[in-house]
Structure 1
């Protein structure tokens, strides 16, 4: 958007709201109505653009930024009757609406807004979320709704107390008790709360009876994780799932096209007895390519830097698919960084005489052909985010229905968040082609395996369509001192399909190999 247009919106909306100081534009929404979300140092503004012959019509609400668990605040909730009910000049035919807006931390994956048995996904831009539910022009704000339709109000602050969900809603009377319904999409049932006594610093909340709007989120915080970025030749996203400070360090490494989300079901289980981290490799998850190489070799080097500079001590590497191969090469090249290695359906050289899955074979053939791979990815993106998630789960899981809905929603949002990032197709295809090339070099791959001297735990699902279980059995026979577990009726991602089983066996294996204390 041109800077002069941004400046005009910021100046016009601040003037219409009567606020003092500069208002900064965070979101511009062009839907059934055009509206903007802005912030000053002390207030949030929702500003309607070009309605009823008025260029800017703005409402301001003073905010005290305190956060709900999961880095999520509710700061601006309101409603406006349809134009046919307001009887204002030029308002006829304008839809009614409910508005919800606030701020989100980097760990938030999805925000939804619900009212009157309807749910929409909010737009997340510049650390804020904003959404409007629209109604017919003759819609009126229900009586006792408790939501302001206009004017300056002072909503209660969000609570930072360790509860599942809390929030606040402004009423048309600033002195009145405020109420709202706020919940995390992965955090249990909705709750109704009221701030007692009108004190914005109060940390205790009490239930009340009425509610109208539900704001929900899906975030790594729901799974016990906190997002971070490290500068490792460019920003690298990783998630800290916590764990005992004196416990062993575990680093989780996803596969081709994957991300930290591939580990959110397993990681909290491991974190009971270990300090657990999940890294997004270059070109994956929230680690954008930014001109970096995304080959197996480049990401092996990136993983080494992550162990040195973030984990800070030798670790147990747990890698799935391409991430298993990268973890294996890292262990072979730098044994001083790795105490133990867990290979979860790793990418392996194909065993002669086995018949690959037709869908897998066709997909990777398209990836490998210049031009075809690019067109195939572009066509795949024309499907909805939900359908893209479903396709991946159908290929990777023996039973996709076993994957929790909240994880599917988080994956959908990640697709949307990555959609505007430059160079992702090129980065993905480079990683895919490098994976195929590296597994084809059988002698070099098996030579790397032979160098490994740390304990190894190899596991495979017997219904893996991407890496035939015959390949895992072949490797297990070549390395009888490695532990090998095979899971009946499980596909390519056991950590997502049977996280309880995987966690129990990994922790037992670590205990058997004296890996249950920190390297220090």
Structure 2
């Protein structure tokens, strides 16, 4: 059974969890179809030494929808406003999948807000075939006639289908509001190249992490972004796919804690 974590709400309707008061602030942004509970292993670990803020995407969990066209830039603007309302910043931002695109966007457009950035299973300049497939999926979701469990076969191996991580992800996909899901997926489908040229100008420490079995957020993508960023580093978790933060929480938590100790030049 899905256990819901306690949330607060900003004046504009973003639901968020705020836990831990020591150390720097870490902001966690989940992927399409999920909600902040998808970060549960990271929240528990990181809150021991950091202030952790985890947000529900617009139209997901307890957050209000955007109420505007579904473009990645609107989600980036939403995150900036939410951070203003929570009075958080400058912060360390970690995003998973769609959250990674949003983290890229805020790093590109408001670099003074970001001390460090981490992309988990982030997409970067999809191939033509991959773009066609994800846009077709977006069209299905917008139509309302779609299989909620379709992503599971891509995100998990067959051996993981009986795992707690699989069950949690399946429950989250079934719980998501269809309109909120469709809006975010449209932005996700068209967002992989919006800020893709930013990395050569990103001065802050940048972590790019993925699983070696993730066919959508690939190892090559992570390494390409890391090579472009002056202070970029790629981490590949062997034997895992898209939901690596749930299937390999110890390895991911260790990588994030290491990232949070990377020295920040010209501290903000």
TM bucket (normalised to shorter chain) is 0.7 to 0.9
Moved over 3 A (4+): 372-375, 413-416
Which residue pairs with 1:400 in the alignment?
Answer: 160
Contact 2:201–2:229 under 8 Å retained in 1: no
Listed as ranges, the gaps of 5+ residues in structure 1 are: 1-109, 111-217, 382-387
d(CA) in 2 for partners of 1:312 and 1:253?
14
The match for 2:16 is 238
Q: Within 5 Å, which residues of 2 pair with 1:42-53?
A: none
User: Within 1, Cα distance between the matches of 2:234 and 2:26?
Assistant: 19
Aligned residue number for residue 464 of structure 1:
214
Alignment CA distance shift 1:414-1:336 (3 Å):
same
Deviations 1:371-421 (A, max 9, x none): x5444x43426xxxxxx3xx443321245347427x8368637835x5xx6
- For the 8 Å contact 2:115–2:204, the answer to whether it is kept is yes
Whole-angstrom CA distance in 2 between matches of 1:278 and 1:289: 17
- Segments of 5+ residues of structure 2 without an aligned counterpart are none
Q: Distance in 2 between matches of 1:394 and 1:408?
A: 13
- Looking at structure 1, the residues matched to 188 and 168 of structure 2 have their Cα atoms a distance apart, in angstroms, of 28
Q: Is the 8 A contact 1:396 1:466 kept in 2?
A: no
Task: Compare CA radii of gyration and give the structure with the larger one.
Answer: 1
Distance verdict in 2 for CA 1:433–1:291, change over 3 Å: closer
Relative to structure 1, is the Cα distance of residues 438 and 514 closer, same or farther in structure 2, using a 3 angstrom cutoff?
A: closer
1:437 equivalenced with 2:217 (yes/no): no
SS at match of 1:316: strand
Query: Paired residue for 1:508, among 241, 258, 264?
Result: 258
| Greater relative CO, 1 or 2 (CA 8 Å, sep 6+) | 2
After TM superposition, give the deviation of residue 283 of structure 1 in Å: 1.8
Corresponding pairs, count: 266
Q: 2:7 aligns to what SS in structure 1? A: strand
Superposition map of 1:1-40 within 5 A: none
1:470 to partner: Cα distance: 2.0
Contact 1:460 1:487 in 2 (8 A): yes
Give the TM-score normalised by structure 2: 0.85
* 2:59 counterpart SS class: coil
Give 1:467 deviation, angstroms. 1.9
Work out the CA distance in 1 between the residues paired with 2:163 and 2:15.
24
2:50 is equivalent to residue 291 of structure 1: no
Q: What TM-score results when the alignment is normalised by the length of structure 1?
A: 0.46
Whether 1:447 and 2:197 are equivalent positions in the alignment is yes
Task: Pick one of 133, 150, 174 that aligns with 1:415.
Answer: 174
Q: CA deviation at 1:286?
A: 2.2
Residue-by-residue CA offset, 1:172-213 (whole Å, 9 max, x unaligned): xxxxxxxxxxxxxxxxxxxxxxxxxxxxxxxxxxxxxxxxxx
Q: Is the 8 A contact 1:239 1:278 kept in 2?
A: yes
1:89-128 superposed matches below 5 A: none
Q: What is the alpha-carbon distance in structure 2 between the residues aligned to residue 283 and residue 514 of structure 1?
A: 34
Instruction: Find the aligned partners of 1:458 and 1:410 in 2 and give their Cα distance.
Output: 22
What is the deviation of 1:272? 1.4
Greater fraction helix: 2
Determine the structure 2 residue equivalent to 1:118.
none
Shift, 1:299, TM fit: 1.0
Counterpart Cα distance in 2 of 1:327 and 1:269: 21
Question: 2:67 is paired with a residue of what secondary structure?
Answer: coil
Pairing 1:336-415 to 2, within 5 Å after superposition: 336-350=112-126, 356=130, 362=133, 364-369=134-139, 372-375=140-143, 377-380=144-147, 388=149, 391-398=150-157, 399-401=159-161, 403-404=163-164, 408=167, 412=171, 415=174
Distance in 2 separating the partners of 1:509 and 1:373: 35
Larger % of strand: which?
1
* Residue 275 in structure 1 maps to residue 51 in structure 2: yes
Alpha-carbon distance change, 431 to 324 in structure 1, aligned in 2, over 3 angstroms:
same
